[in-house]
Amino acid sequence: MELKPIGIIHSPYTKKAQAPHQGRFSSKKSHIIIFDEFLEGLDGIDKYKHLIIIYWLDKARRDILKVVPHGRTKKRGVFSTRAPVRPNPLAYSVVELLEHKKNKLVVKGLEALDGTPLVDIKPYWADLDSVK
């Protein structure tokens, strides 16, 4: 399996302690830079107010299988939590698209650290992406 970053995330968070536990509760802006070879893939992105941003938590530990979730006192397996530490540290955030200029997206609601590799972008569709 090969995973290739399509861009890089620039955010105001340089340390894990600065990032919110859930990006959707933050009003801070992040800038996503798409690498030139993937620029064509942004065609049509302006039609969407919200996007799903998938990224690789490159600074997260990959050897931990049990954690104490935020706000809890007992350990659980990482697959039953939203902890960033996991064997394959993929993460996603639903963000608000504020601006799109060439290879740069300005978004709100992302908790990724500055310099985080971007794996994918998908449009958020409430009818498909939420459970009723």
Confidence (pTM): 0.90
**What does the pLDDT read at residue 101?**
98
Q: Characterize 79-92 residue by residue with b for buried, 16 or more Cβ atoms within 10 angstroms of its Cβ, and e for exposed.
A: eebebbbbeebebe
- Which domains, and CATH codes, for the chain? 7-57+92-129 (2.40.30.70)
Give every CB contact of residue 58 below 8 A, 6+ residues apart in sequence.
89, 115, 116, 117
Given a cut of 70, whether residue 21 has pLDDT beyond it is no
Nearest Cα to 106, choosing from 40, 55, 32? 32
DSSP state of 42: G
The rounded mean pLDDT for the chain is: 92
**What does the pLDDT read at residue 7?**
99
**What does the pLDDT read at residue 41?**
98
pLDDT tens by residue, 113-129? 999 999 999 999 998 88
Give every CB contact of residue 130 below 8 A, 6+ residues apart in sequence.
none
**What does the pLDDT read at residue 46?**
97
The residue ranking higher by pLDDT, 19 or 82, is: 82
